[in-house]
Chain A
């Protein structure tokens, strides 16, 4: 079975710069109404962690779900 990942966003640290949204190869993330990042399609996440590494605000954590 394919691995599943959870994407956690720390909303108080996110500044909505959009880097993660542009980088995600699976288009998992989008901006919400308060211009903060939101994982709208977490089931598509392949766990590449590019968003986690590129986030300048330390706001994203990608974890393998149990």
Chain B
């Protein structure tokens, strides 16, 4: 994809962005903009909503209709936007804490409703902006400022959480596969229903320095070595898969009806 197309989607006056050198959020933003460009979306008909956190700074750099909302509540705002104007393309960008801790309730209920929003979860296993506290996705034994001897709580698997809560398109990629991120985001946007795309990224500043992955490239190789495609993972045992990231399309239910369509029927019934 030529970069000029992507540049039209950037608020170039605010670049270079605030993220640390080598931050995976930039790779994800780039993948998302390439996906939007290749789908031929109109910036004035695209809404990008976010909560609070490093990842949620993203809409500030994107020249479309953007919404920077309360911590964890971005999905609630996105749901409102989609219900008012179902023809809009609504994307919700969240961090792991925003999605699974502060906004955990909004997340599972958005999954349950199956509303046509594409949720992109940037999972960097830590609360990066506030100083590196352990988040619900910090792996067991990983060091964080609030877990100086290693995290004890079992982490969330956001994809399995989303599938369990009823999301109809669930996929995972890591920042070591920028092309795959683009393809999955494209599929997520095209999907008629709630789609969750978890992208494993890194915070080398807050997480990496404490966990022997302090350079961006260390993290890139880490994810590259530990990514397993879904087709291959299906034939692997649970032991073989421990510490690995299963990537690709994990769940697709194309038969479920989208929420705004169901809601239109309710309005029709009520008006009779």
Residues of A within 8 A of B (CB): 12-13, 15-19, 22-23, 50, 52-61, 63
Contact = CB atoms under 8 A, between A and B. Distances in A.
Contacts of A13: 15-16
B22 interface: yes
Contacts of B26: 55-58
Given A53-B30, A53-B178, A53-B179, A58 B220 contact: no
Contacts of A52: 3
B24 interface: yes
Chain B contact surface mostly? helix
10 contacts: A15-B20, A18-B22, A18-B217, A19-B220, A50-B178, A53-B34, A54-B175, A55-B26, A55-B27, A58-B3
Contacts of A23: 220
B21 interface: yes
Contacts, number: 65
B217 A22 contact: yes
A19 B217 contact: yes
B179 to A, nearest CB: 6
B178 A17 contact: no
B171 interface: no
B22 A22 contact: no
A5 to B, nearest CB: 13
A13 B12 CA distance: 10
Contacts of A60: 3
Given A12-B16, A15-B20, A56-B25, 19 more contacts: A16-B21, A18-B22, A18-B216, A19-B217, A22-B217, A53-B178, A53-B179, A54-B220, A55-B30, A56-B19, A56-B24, A56-B27, A56-B29, A57-B26, A58-B3, A58-B7, A58-B26, A58-B30, A61-B3
A15 B216 CA distance: 12
B68 interface: no
A57 B16 CA distance: 7
A56 to B, nearest CB: 3
A54 B201 CA distance: 12
A19 B10 CA distance: 21
Contacts of A58: 3, 6-7, 10, 15, 26, 30
Given A15-B16, A22-B217, A56 B22 contact: yes
A42 B215 CA distance: 25
A60 B7 CA distance: 12
B134 to A, nearest CB: 24
Nearest to A53: B178
Nearest to B33: A58
A58 B23 CA distance: 12
Interface string B162-179: 000000000000010011
Contact of B22 (A12, A19, A63): A19
A22 B217 CA distance: 7
